């Protein structure tokens, strides 16, 4: 397993920030724009029958390259924590990884909201994975950092 994380301080209410990263199918795709050309953007997020976020729910993400992935929400504790794993990966992810687990952890700190986004990657044990997983993780980290920067701009522009 390999793990990366990024943190950012955001000026807004914790409920609003959590909603943006963990609950809103409208807002998060505007924030996660990928890292071209290695990590495509998220274009749309859907849950079956528009079911609200909760433990165990599956959400389908339409990706900018035309593929779809599914995430299973493992833990949903508003406004502090959401953990999810890949239930169905796209072709590139399947080449290199057995799974990916993401987690948002939010807490109030010095009058701001500290947003920590962690990702654990579970590489396959083959030659392809050994060659490509480092690049994939590096690029995904760039996409995560860009997303958190967009989150900060989005919330602080409202002030």
> Going from the N-terminus, what domains does the chain have, and what CATH number goes with each?
2-156 (3.30.530.20)
* pTM, to two decimals: 0.95
Give a three-class secondary structure readout of 115-138.
EEEEEEEEECCCHHHHHHHHHHHH
Residue 147: helix, strand or coil by DSSP? helix
pLDDT, residue 159, reads 64
pLDDT, residue 20, reads 98
| Mean pLDDT, residues 38-50 | 94
pLDDT in tens, 66-109: 999 999 999 999 999 999 999 999 998 999 999 999 999 999 99
| Mean pLDDT, residues 45-52 | 92
Q: Where are the alpha helices (DSSP H) in the chain?
A: 14-18, 28-31, 91-96, 127-156
Q: Quick one: what percent of the chain has pLDDT higher than 70? A: 99
CA pseudo-torsion sign 48, 82, 3, 45:
positive
DSSP state for residue 64 in the 8-state scheme: T
């Amino acid at each position: 397993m390999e793990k990366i994380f990024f943190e950012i301080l955001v000026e807004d209410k914790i409920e609003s920030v959590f909603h943006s990263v963990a609950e809103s199918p409208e807002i998060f795709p505007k924030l996660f724009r990928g890292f071209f050309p290695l990590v495509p953007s998220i274009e749309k997020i859907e849950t079956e029958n528009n079911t609200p976020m909760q433990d165990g729910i599956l959400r389908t993400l339409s990706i900018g390259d035309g593929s779809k992935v599914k995430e299973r929400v493992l833990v949903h504790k508003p406004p502090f924590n959401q953990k999810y794993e890949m239930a169905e990966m796209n072709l590139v992810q399947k080449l290199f990884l057995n799974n990916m687990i993401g987690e948002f952890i939010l807490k109030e700190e010095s009058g701001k909201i500290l947003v920590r986004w962690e990702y654990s990657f579970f590489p396959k044990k083959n030659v392809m994975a050994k060659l490509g997983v480092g690049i994939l993780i590096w690029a995904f980290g760039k996409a995560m950092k860009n997303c958190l920067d967009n989150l900060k701009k989005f919330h602080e522009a409202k002030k």
